[in-house]
Structure 1
C-alpha cells in the first residue's frame, strides 16, 4: 500500500459533510467484493478480490475444518470477523482524531460463534449463521485523556461503525443468479 502522510480527519471529512448536506444523493456509495473462481475442482479453496476499485489485491480463502475444510486459509467467518474488527478500529481512529484524542494502543478483536450443525443439516432446529458475535476493544490513550472521554469515543464509534450497525440490525439481501 502506498504510504501517505496522514491528514487530519476533520480536514478531509468536513468538505464531504458540507457537500452531502447540499447533495445527499452523493453520499450513497457501493462497496463490493467478487470471487475469482480459483480452481473449481477444489471446493475447499478460492479467491476473492475486495473493493469497488481494483487494488490489485486478491485474498485466498479456505473452508473451516468444522465443515470438512482444511482451514489452511482465512475462512468466510474469519473474513466477516475481520470486516467487523477493521471497521470498528478505523471508526475509533477517525473519531479519536476528530476529538483530539491521542491513541497509544488500539486493538479490536471480533469473534463469532456458530453451531455448524445448522449448515451441515444435522439438526434443522439449529439456525444457520452466527448465533452471536463479540468485539473486544483494547484501547489506551495518552495519560491526560479522561476515561469518560474514552467511553464517549467508544459509544460514538459503535454508533458510527457501518459493519457493526449492519450486523446488529440486519440487512435485506437479494440474490440473483445468471444461468
Structure 2
C-alpha cells in the first residue's frame, strides 16, 4: 500500500468522524474464560490465547504470561502504527523489527514487599529499521508513531480502568 492508497481509504473515515463525531467512538471488547488451575483463556478474534502464572510467580511456563501479552500488544500496535505513519509520510520501509522489553519486580506481585509497586518498572520500545529515511525523518516517524499508537498512549496516559464483580447466580 502506498500513501495515496492509504489516504483514499482513510479520507472518507476522517470526513465522517468530523461530521459525526460520535461515529468515531468504537468499543473494543475482550473476554476470557477462567480455566483449570490458575489460567484464563482469551479469544483474540483470530485464536485463543491461554494465560497463566509466570514462572517467577509459580507458573510452569507452559502458558502465556499476561505481562508478555501486554508487551506483545504494544509491539503489534507500534509496528502497525509505524508502518502506517511511514506509508502516510512517504518513507519506504524495506525491513524492520519492533521490540519491547519491560522490567518487573515480582516482590510486589507476590506481596513480599508493600514498597515494591506491582507492574512494570519501565518498558523500552525499540525499532530497528531498514528504510530510506534520513535522521530527521526518522525522528518524525518515531514522534508520530508514539503519538498515534493506541497501546502506547493507553499505557503512558495511565488510562483509568473501572473494575466490578457481577454475580452470575
- Flag whether TM exceeds 0.5 (same fold): yes
Matched, 1:90 2:90: no
Q: Which runs of 4+ in 1 moved over 3 A?
A: none
Q: Deviations over 1:7-31 (max 9, x none)?
A: 7321211111111010111111111
Long gaps (5+) in structure 2? none
Residue-pair matches, total = 165
Does residue 1:18 correspond to 2:44, yes or no? no
2:139 matched to which residue of 1? 151
State the distance in 1 between where 2:55 and 2:48 align: 22
Q: Which runs of 5+ in 1 are unaligned?
A: 1-5
Task: Name the counterpart of 1:136.
Answer: 126
**In the alignment, what sits opposite 2:27?**
30
The aligned runs of 1:47-58 (5 Å cut-off) are: 47-50=41-44, 55=45, 57-58=47-48
Counterpart position of 1:173:
161
- In 2, the alpha carbon distance for the partners of 1:34 and 1:64 equals 20
Ranked by relative contact order (alpha carbons within 8 Å, sequence separation 6 or more), the top structure is 2
Q: Give distance in 2, aligned partners of 1:56 and 1:132.
A: 29
Give the TM-score taking structure 2 as reference length: 0.91
Aligned alpha-carbon RMSD (Å): 1.5
TM-score normalised per structure 1: 0.86
Deviation of the 1:162 alpha carbon: 1.1
Give the number of the structure whose residues are more often helix, by fraction: 2
1:40-83 C-alpha deviation (Å, 9 max, x unpaired): xx11x331112xxxx35211223210000012232100000011
Partners of 1:92 and 1:138 lie apart in 2 by: 11
